[in-house]
Amino acid sequence: MNKKALNNNRSSKVTPDLETGAEEYYYTTKELSGLLNLAPSTLAGYRRSGVGPRYISLGYRTCRYAKTEVLAYMAERARMSTSDQGPLKTSSESLPL
């Protein structure tokens, strides 16, 4: 693989398929950012504020997102119209920014 092709592979977004395989899959921040079309820094902000999908911390700079948690996060945010606010939040739950 030449150097130019290697650089193109690094800069392209990774968009995994949610429907493949029956066993649990753990997304990296880069994979999940491609899937949700969010910047990795946005996911980092979600982790700090506790409003994004649940994640597993594997060390100082390593975390993974379980496929089942990502699907649950996406299902919680599904709406039928722009006026649909979703389920009511209790005062003890954190609100998204």
Q: What is the pLDDT of residue 20?
A: 63
Cα gap 18→27, rounded to integer Å? 10
Condensed to tens digits (0 to 9), the pLDDT of residues 4-63 reads: 544 444 444 555 566 665 578 999 999 999 999 999 999 999 999 999 999 999 988 899
Query: Domain for residue 87, yes or no?
Result: no
Instruction: Print the domain residue range for 58.
Output: 22-74
Query: Domain for residue 63, yes or no?
Result: yes
Query: Domain for residue 70, yes or no?
Result: yes
Q: Contact at 8 Å (CB) between 31 and 67?
A: no
Amino acid (one-letter) located at 56: I
If one counts the domains in the chain, the total is 1
Q: Which helix (H) or strand (E) holds 46?
A: helix 40-49
Query: Domain for residue 67, yes or no?
Result: yes
| Signed CA dihedral, 47, 67, 15, 63: sign only | positive
Q: What is the pLDDT of residue 7?
A: 47
Query: Domain for residue 4, yes or no?
Result: no
Q: Is the pTM of this model over 0.85?
A: no
Q: What is the pLDDT of residue 35?
A: 93
Q: What is the pLDDT of residue 23?
A: 75
Query: Domain for residue 52, yes or no?
Result: yes
